[in-house]
Amino acid sequence: MPAVATAFLSFLSRQIACSLTDLTLQAGCCGRRVTAVKGFAMLRRCGFVAALMLASFVIFEASAVERRVAFVIGNSDYQEISALKNPAKDVVDVSNTFRAAGFDVFVASNLTKLQFEDQFRNYLAAVDGADIAVVYYSGHGFQIGGENFLIPVDASLKDAADVEVQAIKLNDVLQQMRSKSKIQVIILDACRNNPFPRKDYWLRDQLLTASGTGLAQVRSSLNTLIAFATEPGAVAYDGAGDLSPFSLAFSRRALAPNQEIRTVMAAVRRDVVEATQGLQVPWENSSLIDEVVLMRRSSRPSLPPVLEKVVLSGAGPIDLDLPEPVQVDGGTITVSIERPPALGRLMLDGKVIEAGELIQGKDLPRLQFDVPKGAGEPEEMDMLAYAARDSWGGEAKGMLVFRVKSGEGTQGEQVMASLEAEQKQQVLQRGIHVTGAAEAIENREVDVPVGVGAVALNLDVPTDDAAVSLKVTNYPATGTLSLPDRTLSPESSLTVGEVEGLRYEPQIGASAPVEIAFEIRADSAISKPAKMKLSPSVDPCDLAAGEPLDLQGVVPGLLPNEIGADAVELCEAAVKAYPDVARFRYELGRALLAAGKVDQARKAIQQAADRGHVRAVFELGYLHATGTGQAVDRKQANTFYAVASDKGDPYGMTAWGRALFHGNGVERDTGKGLDLLLKAASMGHTYAINDLGAIFTEGRNGVPADQARAVAFLKAGVQRQDMYSMNLLGRNYLSGRGVEKDPKAALALFQKAIDLGQPYAPASLARMYRDGVGVEQNLDEAQRLFELATSRGDQSGAYDRAALEMQKGDQADQAVAVRFLAFTVALDFRNELPDARATLAKFGAKPKAAALKQLRGELKSKIPLSGSVDKQLVKVARAVWEQANPRRDLF
């Protein structure tokens, strides 16, 4: 706490101490009596100073809520290698630990590679802008050439290229976390023996030998901590119990309140060394410059600072009805009697409570005050001062000021009757307050949008009775509950005055409704349960225009050609409702592009980029690269691609990696380009996967051809349902490159790619029917498929359709051949088929005139024509194709 704040609090403490001393003296410590008027003046003075003290805590202790997100993974049930007994159990214990500490916890067991990619993307979207990002992994792991890999449960690692497509590189995980969060913590209980028989694997452009034991030391960047279950190169043990020694020690130690993580890890190290008799020594590498406290406990118990009560002398012990202190962070509370009343005896269960004595916080409502006869005539003032303290050093002070009246005679009896009636009314009122609060919460169902931050639940509890509090008895299974000043945990409580600030942030990727339950209570005798349901909901804009692999997105996403006509209206509504959520502006830009409104789209995308949406930065580069709405500018495109790549966007990595690898608009850097493509592929980006498949199929820019490596990537693309990978892998099965020839497998892949809309697969399958390879020859089916390929923009398919027509000899329709040659040239943007123009030129005027007439007849609006007949044919063919395919993303 700043020195100024400390001095101010010290001053206020002295002031309230003086006020209490003054009130004590005037209330009879020295045998003097004060009038009610004078007593009330002192009461007001104490209340004023107490209010100042309370305000000072708000000013100096309230802080912004930390965003803390953990991803806890436990892989036990391996399919190709030895299973591990502990990780699936470790994950339960460790995830509960992080949830108890108030983290948004993503929990996963027995992840395949594809499942890891999906869940890691959701985690990265949640961790965007977080204060602390944690990944805890328990399972198999090993090292190759100083690089550490985590092993999904479906990994076989039989071939040299398998590590690139089946394993998870720890450095890639760390770089993604680093690009999105302030502090990164990775905890690895994965230092077991390498279980794979193969020893050499591809790592970038080298074939390296895997280590047989443990993990390698990791160089962490600033504000990162990486903890290992054992030292580099050594082996960790499962142990004899349900949990590994490391996970057990971590779960025990991590919840120590207000302990910095390096202190926690030192305690974990001591426990593990003792449990394994020195065979396993946990180790960490830290570059932290900020303090990391997993179980932060900075709140004070909550209780009213000043209360007032009338008591009668000679009436026996009177219930004080003090509210039970609310411990907002859970745990136990003890109450110290700082100054008992001077005019009588403070009692609990018939026993006198003296100054300095401790009682349990739950017993505070049962305190009684017994004033002997003779006191209270005339009315006297007295007080009780007490302090509530929690398990981690938080403290709050309370005060009860008494107006002591005589209980003797008729007047005393009347006052007693009035007080008893008042007490009964208070009990009745508190019961009504508790019931009303429960009814305001019970069975409420609230739809909570995903990916817009913490959403206010707008609970309206019809009471401000300070004695009423709520304890969380069922914390939501996913997501986080919070108040403006703190995140709640499964043991939290809150005062009735805080209910209106209750918020919930659903977990990205979670769609199942969650239940929250509370116990609403006023004292030990009055309580009621209440529960409510929260249903995460995805905004219609996300559903209509969300993009695949958007690490700030909340849905699997749609390709550009899948965006519907209603997307613009839906996303305009989302931008209006959530003007600070940059994602909606980007998705609006995508919708506008799909609708052909390029200028408006570029403006929306720029706004999203300015507000920090990384995929929008990539899209700005794409607009420059394709000349969409502006002149082509490859260098400017690369500038945007590089920024998006540095921020971890897989699209940006692929585009920038491709530019570097090939030297497109930038000086060639094959090594860096290849590395970026591999990183993007490891995140499941199939564009990068297919690029790598092509690079290793052909061998490019000094990277040698390796058909088996190419096939490994193409199979990875097929696993991710990529239609381009299907077509490419089908061709490998036909040629036998990297795999044994298998025409049936090729046919199945081509057909599936056709069903998904892939443009080149129809021609691939058509050639099988044309040549009778793997199927019975069927020229009619080949013709149909070549025409389908042409309609999808495949210039090679159009060329083969023209050739198929000419193979009919005297039966050939030359106008049809001319037509498809015109489409070939019109669609051949990169001049890959230079012979097509020459072939078109050889046809006579009559078939060309017939083809041109037919094509022009298909146009809905006429276009001006000039130049040779061949040029007119190509221009009209292009116009006919664009008319059938108006979307910018399809041509």
Res 886: pLDDT: 74
- Structure-token match 């009038």, residue found: 35
Whether pLDDT at 33 is above 50: no
Residue 785 CA to residue 803 CA, distance in Å, equals: 14
> pLDDT tens digit string along 345-368?
999 999 999 999 999 998 998 999
Token reading at 205: 């452009």
Average pLDDT score over residue span 794-814: 95
Q: At 423, phi and psi to the nearest 5?
A: -65, -45
Average pLDDT score over residue span 499-520: 95
Mean pLDDT for all residues in the chain: 87
Beta-carbon contacts of residue 9 (< 8 Å; ≥ 6 apart): 1, 53, 56, 60
Give ∠ CA 443-448-452 in degrees, rounded to 5.
160
> pLDDT tens digit string along 683-738?
999 999 999 999 999 899 999 999 999 999 999 999 999 999 999 999 999 999 99
Give ∠ CA 191-197-202 in degrees, rounded to 5.
80
**Beta-bridge mates of residue 405:** 312
Alpha-carbon dihedral angle through residues 739, 745, 746, 749, given to the nearest 10 degrees = -120
Query: Radius of gyration over alpha carbons of the chain, in Å?
Result: 37
Q: What sign results for the dihedral spanned by CA atoms 417, 423, 429, 435?
A: negative
Beta-carbon contacts of residue 865 (< 8 Å; ≥ 6 apart): 872, 875, 876
Res 452: pLDDT: 96
Whether pLDDT at 28 is above 80: no
Whether pLDDT at 829 is above 70: yes
Greater confidence (350 vs 524) lies with 350
Res 27: pLDDT: 36
Using alpha carbons, select from 148, 179, 167, 10 the residue that is nearest to residue 78. 167
Res 232: pLDDT: 79
Res 524: pLDDT: 66
Residue 368 CA to residue 364 CA, distance in Å, equals: 9
For every residue of 40-57, DSSP letters joined together read HHHHHHHHHHHHHHHHHH
At residue 328 the predicted structure's pLDDT band, cuts being 50, 70 and 90, is confident
Using alpha carbons, select from 278, 294, 263, 279 the residue that is nearest to residue 136. 294
Beta-carbon contacts of residue 667 (< 8 Å; ≥ 6 apart): none
- Tell me the CA distances in angstroms from 547 to 180, 553, 656, 813, one per residue in order: 19, 7, 19, 45
Average pLDDT score over residue span 868-880: 95
Average pLDDT score over residue span 332-347: 93
Strand order in the sheet with 168-169: 141-144, 147-150, 168-169
Least confident of 163-172, 305-314, 800-809: 305-314
Q: At 490, phi and psi to the nearest 5?
A: -60, -15
Residue 804 CA to residue 859 CA, distance in Å, equals: 26
Instruction: For the beta carbon of residue 842, count every other beta carbon within 10 angstroms.
Output: 7
> pLDDT tens digit string along 601-644?
999 999 999 999 999 999 999 999 999 888 999 999 999 999 99
At residue 64 the predicted structure's pLDDT band, cuts being 50, 70 and 90, is low
Residue 496 host element (H or E): none
Burial class (CB in 10 A: 0-12, 13-18, 19+), 618: buried
At residue 214 the predicted structure's pLDDT band, cuts being 50, 70 and 90, is confident
Burial class (CB in 10 A: 0-12, 13-18, 19+), 289: exposed
Average pLDDT score over residue span 82-107: 92
Residue 790 CA to residue 703 CA, distance in Å, equals: 34
At residue 23 the predicted structure's pLDDT band, cuts being 50, 70 and 90, is very low
Average pLDDT score over residue span 313-324: 86
> pLDDT tens digit string along 554-564?
999 998 989 99
Res 221: pLDDT: 79
Q: For residue 326, give the amino acid letter.
A: V
Greater confidence (220 vs 589) lies with 589
Res 239: pLDDT: 66
Q: Is the peptide bond before 378 cis (omega within 30 degrees of 0)?
A: yes
Residue 601 CA to residue 586 CA, distance in Å, equals: 9
For every residue of 259-297, DSSP letters joined together read -BHHHHHHHHHHHHHHHTTTS---EEEE---S--BSS--
- Structure-token match 């043990």, residue found: 237
Token reading at 478: 């996913």
Average pLDDT score over residue span 281-293: 92
Using alpha carbons, select from 305, 338, 339, 342 the residue that is nearest to residue 322. 305
Token reading at 378: 């005339």
| Range list of β-strands (E), 65-177 | 68-74, 104-109, 130-138, 141-144, 147-150, 168-169
* Pairing, β 444-449 against β 318-319: unpaired
> pLDDT tens digit string along 136-173?
999 999 888 888 999 999 999 999 899 999 999 999 99
Average pLDDT score over residue span 320-345: 88
- Tell me the CA distances in angstroms from 532 to 72, 444, 474, 555, one per residue in order: 27, 5, 10, 26
Res 128: pLDDT: 95
- 178-201: burial string, b at 16+ Cβ within 10 Å, e else: bbbbebbbbbbbbbbebebeeeeb
Q: 552, 125 in Cβ contact below 8 A?
A: yes
Res 723: pLDDT: 96
Residue 58 host element (H or E): helix 36-61
Alpha-carbon dihedral angle through residues 878, 590, 617, 554, given to the nearest 10 degrees = -140
- Structure-token match 């850097």, residue found: 669
How many residues does the structure list for the chain? 891
Share above pLDDT 90 across residues of the chain, in percent, rounded to a whole number = 66
Beta-carbon contacts of residue 237 (< 8 Å; ≥ 6 apart): 244, 245, 276, 279, 280
Q: 765, 786 in Cβ contact below 8 A?
A: no
- Structure-token match 């990162």, residue found: 224
Q: At 667, phi and psi to the nearest 5?
A: -65, 135
Average pLDDT score over residue span 455-472: 89
Res 412: pLDDT: 67
Instruction: For the beta carbon of residue 291, count every other beta carbon within 10 angstroms.
Output: 11
Res 21: pLDDT: 39
Backbone region of residue 480 per phi and psi (left: phi > 0; alpha: psi in -120 to 50; beta: other values): beta
At residue 20 the predicted structure's pLDDT band, cuts being 50, 70 and 90, is very low
Whether pLDDT at 12 is above 80: no
Res 710: pLDDT: 96
Cα first-last separation, the chain? 62
Least confident of 281-290, 294-303, 595-604: 294-303
- Structure-token match 């420059």, residue found: 624
Whether pLDDT at 127 is above 90: yes
Q: What sign results for the dihedral spanned by CA atoms 877, 881, 883, 884?
A: positive
For every residue of 644-712, DSSP letters joined together read HHHTT-HHHHHHHHHHHHHTSSS---HHHHHHHHHHHHHTT-HHHHHHHHHHHHH-BTTBPP-HHHHHH
Q: At 552, phi and psi to the nearest 5?
A: -120, 15
Whether pLDDT at 861 is above 50: yes
Res 889: pLDDT: 52
| Range list of β-strands (E), 475-551 | 480-483, 486-487, 493-495, 503-505, 514-523, 526-537
Residue 399 CA to residue 547 CA, distance in Å, equals: 59
Res 2: pLDDT: 39
Beta-carbon contacts of residue 58 (< 8 Å; ≥ 6 apart): none
> pLDDT tens digit string along 221-269?
799 999 999 887 777 776 667 788 999 999 999 988 889 999 999 999 9
Least confident of 53-57, 372-376, 403-407: 53-57
Whether pLDDT at 749 is above 70: yes
Token reading at 622: 């794409």
Whether pLDDT at 764 is above 70: yes
Share above pLDDT 70 across residues of the chain, in percent, rounded to a whole number = 90
- Tell me the CA distances in angstroms from 345 to 222, 248, 430, one per residue in order: 60, 50, 27
At residue 674 the predicted structure's pLDDT band, cuts being 50, 70 and 90, is very high
